[in-house]
Amino acid sequence: MKVKAIYPGTFDPITNGHIDIAKRAAVLFEHVIVAISANPSNKIPRFSLEQRVELANLVLADLNNITVCSFNGLLANFAKQCDVQVIIRGLRAVSDFEYEFQMAGMNRTLIPDIETIFLTPATKYTFISSSLVREIAALGGNVDEFVHPQVSAALRTINKRNLSYCS
């Protein structure tokens, strides 16, 4: 059976941890759609939707069974529209579990024929989050270990723009 999966998130910005999950999913499934939410719950993204899509496309370019796209509104509706059988989510630590369990339950109620499958990243990525990466970069720290060089450059640009605005 050829199974298609969707890997949704905010990806603000995409980190090495996200890339690790996307690569694992690409091995398991025929096709993986990395779906970037335009309106994530309780979040105001630092990067525009277009920038988040562009960065994800750049860093995942060598994986030919992955496509990147954005979506508006409910993930359940978009997953159905894409005709996928699986939703992928990453689990980094026990602290992720409660939120993920709730979201999986909700999505199962909305779209009973789509399964949520959890993948764990390599141990070295379990402490990375996009907000920590953004904070470190904004305060002048080096994030090269946590993100692709193109993402690191984008963070430098966005932070430089902010500093020049303040001075």
Nearer to ligand COA, 77 or 157 (CB): 77
Nearer to ligand COA, 1 or 112 (CB): 112
CA–CA dist 118, 86 (Å, integer): 10
DSSP H or E stretch at residue 35:
strand 31-37
Nearer to ligand COA, 53 or 75 (CB): 75
Min dist CB 6 to ligand COA, Å, is: 9
The token pair at 157 is 């640009």
Position with the least CB separation from ligand COA: 17
Min dist CB 100 to ligand COA, Å, is: 8
Min dist CB 85 to ligand COA, Å, is: 17
Report which of 5, 128, 125, 130 is spatially closest to residue 55, judged by C-alpha positions.
130
Min dist CB 167 to ligand COA, Å, is: 28
Q: Give the residues lining the site for ligand COA (CB under 6 A).
A: 8-12, 15, 17-18, 21, 37, 40-41, 74-76, 90, 92, 103, 106-107, 121, 125, 128-131
End-to-end CA distance of the chain: 58
Residue 42 burial (CB < 10 Å; 0-12/13-18/19+)? exposed
Nearer to ligand COA, 39 or 157 (CB): 39
Helices (H) and strands (E) in the chain, counts: 6, 5
